[in-house]
Amino acid sequence: MKNITAHTPSHFAEYQLIDSGNFLKLEKFGTHITIRPEPQAVWDASMSTQEWEKMAHVKFIPKSSSSGDWKMLKNVPQQWTIPYSLQSSKDNTIAFRLGLTSFKHVGIFPEQAVNWEYIFQAVSQMKKPVKFLNLFAYTGGASLAARAAGAETYHLDSIKQVVSWARENMELSKLDNIRWVVEDALKFVKREVKRGNKYQGIILDPPAYGHGPTGEKWKLEDSINEMMKNVLSILDEDQHFLILNAYSLGFSPIILENLVQMNTKPQNLETGELYLADKFNKNLPLGAFARFQKNN
């Protein structure tokens, strides 16, 4: 087993974490700069509040633990688009429609770019056709990477509007034929186990809390062990890769390592943390991961 840290690829020119601290992060998405809450940025910022607000276009003001409003500091559109080149190749460019949402996100988690690269490379190296399943798929960065590499791709999220957003990203990326599933992830996986369906690639990036389309409750620590047992049952035995990602305070790489190793004996297991580095060399942790692959 290998313990590593993984940060956003340097060729992601359209994104930059400029500064972090005081429970906030200052980020550039394309030509627009945002200020958003970040509970893990417990240190001091390197720049002053006045410098941040002079640079930024918008600042998110929380109203509750799950929603808030954007304060406009400069003119900024409600939606815009940024590209990302897989493997630094313009021939494999995917695209994202970004927007200002009431739950502080803008439609992309840039720290996940390392997982997109892992997926693209793993699919490209496999010898037989690949079925890929993206669980808790959000706006589809992992789905786009898998489809760009040629995988038969299944994208699952419980929120219909988010799946529609992912479809827009597929079209912006000039891709097609991603299979869209709006369903509770655990229910879907259990049904796939009964059907005997197998996937050569799976990623799951579950939230700390969530709800299915008909009110099913998800709490990470209560459900992740059952989810992993079922997910591993639908992973192809001969040729496969799997990524488990978790952004939840208190969830360490060791927890994810145990979840994997209690239920399978993976080859090439890697565990670690995802992080973003700001321009002042402060590293912002943004989730733990475990991943492994097997190629015959």
Helix residue spans in the chain (DSSP H): 49-55, 113-125, 141-148, 160-172, 185-195, 220-233, 253-261
Asked if 113 contacts 12 with a C-beta cutoff of 8 angstroms, the reply is: yes
Are 126 and 255 in a shared domain? yes
15, 48, 79 - which closes a domain: 79
Confidence band of 253 (pLDDT split at 50, 70, 90): very high
pTM of the predicted structure, to 2 decimals: 0.94
Asked if 125 contacts 295 with a C-beta cutoff of 8 angstroms, the reply is: yes
Could you report the per-residue pLDDT of 51-82, keeping only the tens digit for each? Answer: 999 999 999 999 988 899 999 999 999 899 99
Are 120 and 229 in a shared domain? yes
Are 75 and 108 in a shared domain? no
Are 60 and 11 in a shared domain? yes
Could you report the per-residue pLDDT of 98-124, keeping only the tens digit for each? Answer: 999 999 999 999 999 999 999 999 999
Looking at 64-78, 153-167, 174-188, which range is the least confident one?
A: 64-78
Are 12 and 134 in a shared domain? no
Gap between the Cα atoms of 285 and 270, Å rounded: 17
Are 20 and 162 in a shared domain? no
CB-based contacts of 54, cutoff 8 Å, min separation 6: none
**Better pLDDT: 262 or 250:** 262
**Better pLDDT: 211 or 167:** 167
Do the domain assignments include residue 24? yes
Mean of pLDDT over the chain? 93
21, 48, 79 - which closes a domain: 79
Counting the structural domains of the chain, the total is 2
Domain, as residue range, for 169: 102-294
Mean pLDDT to the nearest integer, 152-177: 97
Helices (H) and strands (E) in the chain — how many of each? 7, 17
- Residue keyed to tokens 């655990």: 186
Convert 95-126 to b/e letters by CB count within 10 Å (16 or more is b).
Answer: bbbbebbeebbbbbbbbbbbbbbbbbebbeeb
Are 116 and 261 in a shared domain? yes
Q: Write the burial class of residue 93 (CB in 10 Å: 0-12 exposed, 13-18 middle, 19+ buried).
A: middle
CATH number at residue 202: 3.40.50.150
